[in-house]
Amino acid sequence: MIGLSLERVSHAFDGPDVVRRVSVAVDAGEVACLLGPSGCGKTTLLRLAAGLEYLQRGRIAIGGRVVADGEAGLHTPPEDRRVGLMFQDYALFPHLTVYDNIAFGLSDRLRKRRRWVRVALDRVGLADVASSYPHTLSGGQQQRTALLRALAPEPEVLLLDEPFSGLDVTRRASVREQTLGLLRESGIATLIVCHDPEEAMFMADHLLVMDAGEIIQHGAPAEIYLHPANAFVAALFGPLNRLDALVRGGRVDTPLGGFDAPGLAEGTAARVLIRPEGLAVGPAANGAAVTVVSARLLGRSSHLRLAVSGIDEPLQALVPGVFLPEPGTPVSADANRAHSFVFAAE
């Protein structure tokens, strides 16, 4: 069953459309992530789904019930949409305890849900601070409080706006995993706004990449990572090495070897994009001869800058484990085609 449906949604704020003909469907129990740069329309789309903005064009349905129709002038208020909304800054009530924040809006008749609050507090490690106030909590505790508050009324749809952005790196991973577990158990259709690609890859069943108000690619996270639709999508997932060449006989030849160029016409100016983790680096033998410019240990991997004859800028490589050859050391580099993409040059 489709929990949230947006059909050809467009919206503007005294100017050009900031959301353009966006269609999204999130099934019950599914987690979908909107990924894209700041200002691309992600949060506007979330606010439209929540009812915080009046829909101008298109239609929105929740649980099969139309809650907004721009052409018909239909607007169901947020409180009547059965939507749970978690803001980026958590927006907890400062004068209420953790328990009262979560139970806010639950009537005395909903005793079953009040029991759920007690169980949920214990499960996420907040039972000991149930009587505390938000200003005394850590960022992770505030995040979990805000999430439970959004889940408490049993909404049909949950909308989260960059829910982990306020957490430090060490805490973020564990809170992310705990959040995903709660979402899986709830069976609620969830739409999350993300700017961190690793976070989106971890959380999403379905990934929606936005740029300039439009969905430019959607699908399973692995599909989008391994088969980006264009250079913009590829670049969302981190730094890229760029090699320019011309298409000859359906291929492009570079100092790192030849690459297939499907769909590009003969003589087209092309750009090969190679992820740093897609460069295999080892003792000078097979592969292209390169020279180490620098090597730095990043913990689980080593970051190398490599000088290549015929390429002005050094290439970047991420090598698993500890691999720290001295600057000037000759090594070889070979590109993994699964992490290499060829597009028409911009």
pLDDT tens digits for 124-147? 889 999 999 999 999 889 999 999
The model's pTM is: 0.90
Q: What percentage of the chain has pLDDT greater than the value 90?
A: 76
**146-184: pLDDT as tens digits:** 999 999 888 999 999 998 887 887 788 888 888 898 898
- Rounded to 10 deg, the angle between the 111-123 and 139-151 helix axes is 150
pLDDT digits (tens, 9 = 90+) for 79-88: 999 999 998 8
User: Please, is 72 exposed, middle or buried when counting C-beta atoms within 10 Å of its C-beta (0-12, 13-18, 19+)?
Assistant: exposed
Q: Which has more pLDDT, 182 or 316?
A: 316
Is 2-233's fold the same as 239-344's?
Answer: no
Q: Where are the domains of the chain?
A: 2-233, 239-344
Average pLDDT of the segment spanning 106-122: 80
Give the confidence band of 233 by pLDDT, cuts at 50, 70, 90.
Answer: very high
Residue with tokens 């721009």: 70
pLDDT, position 60: 98
Confidence of residue 113 (pLDDT cuts 50, 70, 90): confident
Cβ distance 342 to 259 under 8 Å?
A: yes
- For 244-282, give one letter per residue: b (16+ CB within 10 A) or e: ebebeeebbebebbebebeebeeebebbbbbbbbbbebe
Q: How confident is the model at residue 110 (pLDDT cuts 50, 70, 90)?
A: low
Q: Which CATH number fits domain 239-344: 3.40.190.10, 3.40.50.300, 2.40.50.140, 3.40.47.10?
A: 2.40.50.140
Q: Is the pLDDT of residue 63 over 90?
A: yes
Give residue 109's pLDDT: 56
How many percent of the chain have pLDDT more than 70? Answer: 98
Confidence of residue 108 (pLDDT cuts 50, 70, 90): low
CATH number of 2-233: 3.40.50.300
Average pLDDT over residues 249-254: 94
